[in-house]
Copies of this chain bind each other. A is one copy, B any other.
């Protein structure tokens, strides 16, 4: 099955080549799965060689024939060892570049040094930012993939309404939701760029558990089943009247949507209901700023202003002592794509960006209260991708 058209992939490669030329990088060698998938439509290749001009060549291992059914790219060459790469590249009409571009934020040191020796280059250049910049602006095809991924997340409130009890553990509820998402075609794992960015298919965390410290860039990621995991649902009972964060990802052909909804077993106090309503209002208001008129920082600051107006600033994105520095992030073939709606990030949004907006409150002794929706930035007003019911689910 070929997911992407040849035209789509060639356009992506051509954008990268443009950036390589601007930085005077002779060629890129792409190795990490998310990037490989983005540029080739498959993860069965070993290396994608992208010269700054000319055709890209996908190198595959001797025995992997599946790649031809999955990539629309034409130049596919068998490689048994990376040491053959310079010779094979020459054979395909390419040159050994004097500056080689690699994904230096994720490529292990050992692999990098070996490639440096093989290509006999003194210096390697980090092409990660270039790749992430290309990936940041989505095509109509990619927006459609994300729309389909987001649509799958509509099942979450339904599953929670059907199964939630105060007696079950976060993990039991999460297992049910994960099964539902998996049946809809979830890949079973989530790509989040960076070492140690390990994450399950989603997070179900209730009450004070939601405030667990976590070693990952997020406000709230759950306590996990045990200290070895440290993220996701825990074995703790959900309990009565605890606000439950339901932050789940769905995948569709490699594209990841990200959504948060909330539930309560028993009844919601007026206080919790009021805070949740304020966050729904804040998120909706803030989403209107997702246009090319505003910068990432503008949107972050606007969120702060809204939180002040609503009287929730003390809890907004943490606390005054430790407030998270972002209120949203790009989504695509990785969960943590450009752009980050982060404090101090001055660049303006552009049409084609896809963003998960996730304002959340951290209320001591109560838990986390918030919502998350996905949007596409267009020239005019943002288009919402997530469709799940937003009411506080009370069972």
Contacts from A to B (Cβ < 8 Å): 1-3, 31-33, 37, 41-46, 61-67, 70, 102, 104-113, 124, 126, 171-172, 174-176, 178-179, 182-183, 185-189, 191, 195-196, 198-201, 212-215, 224-230, 232-233, 235, 251, 253-255, 322, 333
List of B residues within 8 angstroms of A195 by Cβ: 31-32, 106-108, 111
Name the contact of A215 in the complex, choosing from B46, B124, B178 (C-beta under 8 A): B46
CA A191 – CA B228 in complex, angstroms? 10
Whose C-beta in chain B lies nearest to the C-beta of A321? B63
List of B residues within 8 angstroms of A102 by Cβ: 109
- Report how many copies the assembly holds: 2
Contact A215 B253 (CB under 8 A): no
8 closest residue pairs by CB, A with B? A228-B254, A188-B200, A187-B229, A175-B182, A109-B112, A66-B213, A179-B179, A70-B227
Contact B227 A185 (CB under 8 A): no
List of B residues within 8 angstroms of A3 by Cβ: 226-228
Whose C-beta in chain B lies nearest to the C-beta of A255? B228
Given contacts A106-B195, A188-B225, A230 and B174 within 8 Å (CB-CB): no
Given contacts A66-B212, A229-B188, A107 and B109 within 8 Å (CB-CB): yes
Name the contact of A196 in the complex, choosing from B2, B43, B126 (C-beta under 8 A): B43
A340 to chain B, nearest CB (A): 18
CA A228 – CA B41 in complex, angstroms? 7
Query: Mind listing 21 A-B residue pairs with CB under 8 Å?
Result: A1-B226, A3-B226, A3-B227, A33-B198, A43-B196, A43-B215, A46-B215, A65-B213, A102-B109, A107-B195, A109-B112, A109-B113, A171-B183, A175-B179, A178-B178, A185-B226, A186-B225, A187-B228, A226-B253, A226-B254, A227-B254
List of B residues within 8 angstroms of A108 by Cβ: 104-109, 195
Chain A, interface SS category: loop
CA A246 – CA B56 in complex, angstroms? 38
Contact A176 B175 (CB under 8 A): no
CA A2 – CA B175 in complex, angstroms? 25
A44 to chain B, nearest CB (A): 5
CA A255 – CA B196 in complex, angstroms? 17
Whose C-beta in chain B lies nearest to the C-beta of A318? B63
Contact A178 B182 (CB under 8 A): yes
CA A195 – CA B196 in complex, angstroms? 11
List of B residues within 8 angstroms of A113 by Cβ: 109
Known contacts A174-B182, A187-B228, then 9 further A-B pairs from the complex at CB < 8 Å, ordered by chain A residue: A1-B226, A44-B227, A62-B322, A65-B213, A66-B214, A104-B109, A178-B182, A178-B188, A227-B253
CA A213 – CA B124 in complex, angstroms? 32
Contact B232 A196 (CB under 8 A): no
Whose C-beta in chain B lies nearest to the C-beta of A222? B188
A168 to chain B, nearest CB (A): 10
Given contacts A107-B109, A227-B3, A227-B70, A188 and B215 within 8 Å (CB-CB): no
List of B residues within 8 angstroms of A232 by Cβ: 187-188
CA A322 – CA B44 in complex, angstroms? 17
CA A62 – CA B322 in complex, angstroms? 10
Given contacts A63-B213, A178-B178, A195-B107, A185 and B225 within 8 Å (CB-CB): yes
Contact B333 A228 (CB under 8 A): yes
A102 to chain B, nearest CB (A): 7
Whose C-beta in chain B lies nearest to the C-beta of A187? B229
List of B residues within 8 angstroms of A41 by Cβ: 227
Contact A228 B199 (CB under 8 A): no
Contact B189 A189 (CB under 8 A): yes
Contact B175 A183 (CB under 8 A): yes
